[in-house]
Amino acid sequence: ANPLKRVANKVTESLKGGGDGPPEGIPGRPAVESPSVAEPTEPREPLPPKPDQSGPDTVSPTGQPTGADQARMAQSGSYLTTAQGARLYDTDHSLKAGPRGPVLLQDHHLREKVMHFDHERIPERVVHARGAAAHGVFQSYGTAASLTKAAFLAEDVETPVFVRFSTVVGSRGSADTVRDTRGFATKFYTSEGVFDLVGNNIPVFFIQDAIKFPDIIHAVKPQPDREIPQAQSAHDTFWDFVSLHTEATHHTLWHISDRGIPRSFRMMEGFGVHTFRLVNAEDGTTLVKFHWKPRLGVHSLVWEEAQIINGVDPDFHRRDLADAIESGAYPQWELGIQTFPDTPDQTFEGIDLLDPTNIVPEELAPVQPVGLLTLNRNPSNFFAETEQVAFHVGHLVPGIDITDDPLLAGRLFSYLDTQITRLGGPNFPQIPINRPHAPVNDMLRDGMHQTAVHRGVAPYRPNSVDGGCPFTAGADTGAYIEAPVRVPEATKVRAAPESFADHFSQPRRFWLSMSPVEREHIIGAYTFELGKCYEQAVKERALQVLANIDPELCEAVATGLGLPAPKPTEPLADVEPSPALSQLGRTWPADGRIVGIVTGEDGDVDGVRAVREAVLNAGMVPLVVAPTGGTLGSGDGALSVQRTYATARSVEFDAVLLAGTPGVGSDAYTARDAKSAPSPAQPGTTDPRVSLLVSEAFRHGKAIGVWAGGEAALEAAGVPTDAPGVIVSDSGTAALSRVTELLGAHRVWERFNTQV
Ligand code: HDE
């Protein structure tokens, strides 16, 4: 007989006890009711979820029912205490030997307060440091249920989620609307454990192998000598690297396109980038790519707007997300999948599915919706939630597996590893925002910041003292079982497959799929970025890359740089455009858009009131702009002013309405308000701040509606009344209805001159 089993039986016998006194050898211990387990072979009932495994109980300060006021207060108790709970009578003065005397070392309150402050910061994320997040819910349609056994994708399952959006390059305090890739990371708190979909708003990546990640990030981050530029790709080291390393071409082109400057997190697509593998109940596998499709469509800023916002409101995207949620305009995305047969070669229509610089055009593999994400609650505490959330591509649930994409392999290591430095040890899954909502029954113990008080003496397996618990699960009891994929016999090499060598056909497809105005933006962006480089060799090499994408693109950028355009060094790929890649040409809902209603001292208050109501009824946000703060009109009908001529800037608005004679004769303007050094307004002329607002809105392709004399402001801004997207109407509501239609296309694209 097995000697270990004999020992186990003996221990089990002594545990049985029967409740008639302490086990032998432990005198004085009270009797413990022991489970009557004959032999440690049967799993017990699964543990119920512990209350502390649910997400943090946070509520939005606005619009939430009970307890909202309580939640918005930093402290709910009446008396200030030390961290140990002792009440304090003074927290403003150090303990001194007399009011002018030296501070005493015995001041324990001073020491505790300053010590804690000294350690308030943690290291920022090495990439994606700046972000904003929200809570929400994912509602599955069940359309993927035949492909995956993942419980959260079964029909009609609601799963709580936490989503963090981010820029990649900038520091935690950098501006939101820089040109960059955006992170789109979703934590699904499913009944089977946490599933993280850690994606970006660009479906491809700069590199094909994780071992290059430090190189690309070192190249794009501020240069190490002076630590400039912050949150910018427009510098030599970035263009040096991507021009030498041509597998970055596809991602760089997306980054340079309008996708690099989203209008809002709410108006971005998200992509899982890698190909994943779904596993169904019959162990059938399917390769998939994940897509998030925003309900409001995919929209971008224009470059000048993005630059102005970085100064005027560096928190633009963060604010936009929080405001939308607080106002009840909950952002939504459909999760979709492109599916491919799980063939041994892992390709689809000749496209290598393991190469993360490739997309599969939606025309070849349509995106099939599998569920709806709604963000409906702002975090209550940025640090506790947004900063401490830890995503990891290896947080997987049964039914979702990985593939052999070499970029994904490196990520599987990195996301755990980085938290050790960032969150100070291995216990970050215990931080409230990271806690699974599924029961956790692990045998991980101790370590820095351990907050659990684990009971028992047997955090090991096999054991008998805990009745053999915990047992391992099987396929029919919800275990995560890796898909038994065959690995081809091979020789160890440091090398990439042949198919990874095509660096230009996919970028060419992207370029050919763009509308003329999107191409103009791409040309403008390359010209700007390369124009910021100092090294001639870098610019020339970058132009060579462009020549291999498209000679017309190369020619236009070369002209802007004042350099000769090189010829392609390889034949141009013969590829079909993918119309789904263009952001133009469709109509989208206008709700959640911001409409500025600009009026003057003698403004049409009734008209403004009516149009404000109409904007609200259309699900949009009206912001009334007047010469000074306070109200327009008086008495019951008085209207609050949200922005003044001093605080308003065109970039905040998706469309502008001019009511009455905004700014005409306004004497509110003085030199101290100058935004672009115009001369102070003369009586009877338009306030320069209004002219600036109107001319910028016009230049940025925004719809402009005027009524009741608003034409004067158009004239002052040099905007023709018959220009495309300029609506002169009898009433504000009539102007608004045309403006709302125009918002469906996002911008008045006819205003942009195009030559390509
Ligand atoms: Fe990440 N990435 N990444 N990344 N990534 C991180 O993890 C990394 C890559 C992405 O809001 C880090 O917790 C490597 C692709 C997002 O908290 C780090 C490689 C995609 C976020 C890391 C990649 C992403 C990160 C830094 C190359 C899109 C922010 C802090 C193999 C599919 C998550 C952290 C958040 C964050 C490593 C490439 C998306 C260092 C090694 C491809 C959205 O672990």
CA angle (381 as vertex; 378, 385 as ends), nearest 5: 80
Q: Which stretches in the chain have pLDDT values below 70?
A: 1-76, 664-684
Do residues 595 and 653 touch, judged by C-beta distance below 8 A? Answer: yes
Tell me which of 93, 108, 128, 437 is the catalytic residue.
Answer: 128
Cα(535) to centroid of ligand 1, in Å?
30
| pLDDT on residue 661 | 75
> Which residue of 411, 412, 418, 433 sits with most ligand 1 atoms within 8 Å of its CB, as the best mutation to test the pocket?
411
Tell me what pLDDT residue 673 has: 57
- 416 shares its domain with 351: yes
Note the pLDDT of residue 393: 98
- Domain-embedded: residue 84: no
- Measured between alpha carbons, how far is 159 from 135 in angstroms, rounded to an integer? 11
Give the residue carrying structure tokens 């633009």.
Answer: 316
E strand spans, 458-589: none
Q: Is 213 annotated as a binding residue?
A: yes
Same domain, yes or no: 567 and 604: no
Ligand 1 centre and the CA of 250: distance in Å? Answer: 19
Atom of ligand 1 nearest to the CA of 185: 43
Residue nearest to atom 19 of ligand 1 (CA): 411
The two counts, helices (H) then strands (E), for the chain are 17, 20
Q: Ligand 1, closest atom to CA 419?
A: 13
551, 646: one domain:
no
Identify the residue whose tokens are 């099939």: 368
Say if residue 645 carries a ligand binding annotation: no
What's the confidence (pLDDT) of residue 51? 53
Same-domain check for residues 197 and 302: yes
Examine residue 512 and state whether it is found in any structural domain, yes or no. yes
Number of residues that this document lists for the chain: 756
Best residue among 169, 182, 198 to mutate for probing ligand 1, ranked by most atoms within 8 Å of CB: 198
The answer to whether 235 is a known catalytic residue is: no
552, 581, 610 — which closes off a domain?
A: 581
Q: Which of these three, 410, 434, 458, is where a domain ends?
A: 434
Tell whether 278 and 424 lie within a shared domain: yes
What are the pocket residues of ligand 1 if the criterion is a CB atom closer than 6 Å to any ligand atom? 125-128, 131, 164, 166, 183, 185, 198-200, 205, 210, 213, 273, 389-391, 407, 410-411, 414-415, 418
Residue 714 maps to a domain: yes
Residue 489 lies in a domain: no
Answer yes or no: is 669 a known binding residue.
no
Strands 400-401 and 594-599 come out as unpaired
- Judge if 306 and 427 occupy the same domain: yes
Q: Which domain holds residue 744?
A: 594-751
Q: Is 290 annotated as a binding residue?
A: no
Nearest CA among 371, 312, 366 for reference residue 339: 366
Q: So what's the pLDDT on residue 668?
A: 54
Identify whether 508 is part of a domain.
yes
Is 395 catalytic? The answer is: no
Which of 124, 125, 420 for mutating ligand 1's site (highest number of atoms within 8 Å of CB)? 125
* CATH number of the domain enclosing 600: 3.40.50.880
pLDDT at 709: 85
Q: Write out pLDDT tens, residues 452-498.
A: 888 889 999 999 888 888 999 999 999 999 999 999 899 999 999 99
Do 367 and 297 fall within a single domain? Answer: yes
CA 126 / ligand 1 centre spacing (Å): 9
Which tokens belong to 634?
């008086």
Residue 16 lies in a domain: no
Cα Rg, the chain, nearest whole Å: 31
Nearest CA to ligand 1 atom 8: 411
pLDDT value of position 723: 97
Taking the centre of ligand 1 as the mean of its atom positions, its distance from the CA of residue 408, in whole angstroms, is 10
Q: For residues 207 and 127, is the Cβ–Cβ distance under 8 A?
A: no
Give the CATH number for residue 517: 1.20.1370.20
Same structural domain for residues 513 and 414?
A: no
Tell me if 514 is assigned to some domain: yes
Burial label for 736, CB within 10 Å (0-12, 13-18, 19+), is buried
Phi first, then psi, for residue 32 (nearest 5°) are -115, 135
**Domain co-membership, 570 together with 659:** no
pTM: 0.91
What is the position in ligand 1's atom list of the atom closest to the CA of 209?
31
Look at residue 408 and tell me if it is in a domain: yes
3-class SS of residue 556: helix
Q: Nearest to residue 659, comparing CAs of 618, 586, 616, 602?
A: 602
Q: Which of 414, 434, 454 is the last residue of a domain?
A: 434
Three-state SS letters, 303-366: HHHHHHHHHHCCCHHHHHHHHHHHCCCCCEEEEEEEEEECCCCCEECCEECCCCCCCCCCCCCC
**Nearest to 335, CA basis, from 279, 380, 386, 278:** 278
Catalytic member of 200, 358, 378, 463: 200
Question: Based on the domain organization, do 658 and 512 belong to the same domain?
Answer: no
> How many structural domains does the chain have?
3
Distance 168 CA to ligand 1 centre (A): 9
Q: Do both 552 and 599 map to the same domain?
A: no
Whether residue 604 sits in one domain with residue 575: no
CATH code, domain carrying 268:
2.40.180.10
CA of 404 to the centre of ligand 1 (A): 18
